[in-house]
Each structure stands twice: as C-alpha cells, then as structure tokens.
Amino acid sequence: MVMDPAEGLGLIAGAIGALAFAPQALKILREKRVADVSLATYVMVLSGALLWAAYGVMRGAPSIVLWNLVAASLAAAVVAGKLYWSRTKI
C-alpha cells in the first residue's frame, strides 16, 4: 500500500502535536499536584481535539482522527486529574 505524502506528513505532525501533552499528563498523574494547571486550557484543548477528530472522520483523514483522539485522551487525563486532585488532599 502506498501512502499519500500529505497523509504521511499529517501522521508525523499529528504525533508531535498530540504527544506534546504527554509530559504534562504524566507529571500530573505521577505527582498528583495540579495547583498550577489551568482547567480552562485543558477543557479547551479537549474540546478542540474532539472537534478536529470529528472533522477528520468527515474528511476521511485517518491522521487527523488518530492523533486528535490521542490528544483528547491526554487532555481528558489532565482534566480528570485536575478535577480529582483539586478536591482531595494527599
């Protein structure tokens, strides 16, 4: 199977963009410290990633769907951690 060069570029760009959220998500899960994390920012990132994934489905663009679902998952982990650890004392 031959990949369209634009789709290959989309896969690479999407991986870099989506995985940029991984260090913050992992740090929050590891340290359980969320005081300096902006909930509004990550809710916006989550919303945007889900909308981009829907757009990718509508356009039939696997790279857009894949990496935006990854970004949405990481943003959702940050949002969940922020909501949970903001209310509990560890």
Query: Which tens digits make up the pLDDT trace of 8-51?
Result: 898 899 999 999 989 989 998 899 899 889 999 999 999 999 99
pLDDT given at position 4: 84
Longest dimension (CA), the chain: 53
* Cβ(74)–Cβ(22) below 8 Å: yes
Cβ contacts of 44 within 8 Å, gap of 6 or more: none
Instruction: Report how far residue 86's alpha carbon sits from residue 31's, in angstroms, rounded to the nearest whole number.
Output: 13
The pLDDT confidence band at residue 1, using thresholds 50, 70 and 90, is low
pLDDT given at position 10: 87
Q: What is the pTM of this model?
A: 0.87
| In the predicted structure, residue 90 carries a pLDDT above the cut 90 | no
pLDDT given at position 55: 97
Instruction: Report how far residue 35's alpha carbon sits from residue 86's, in angstroms, rounded to the nearest whole number.
Output: 7
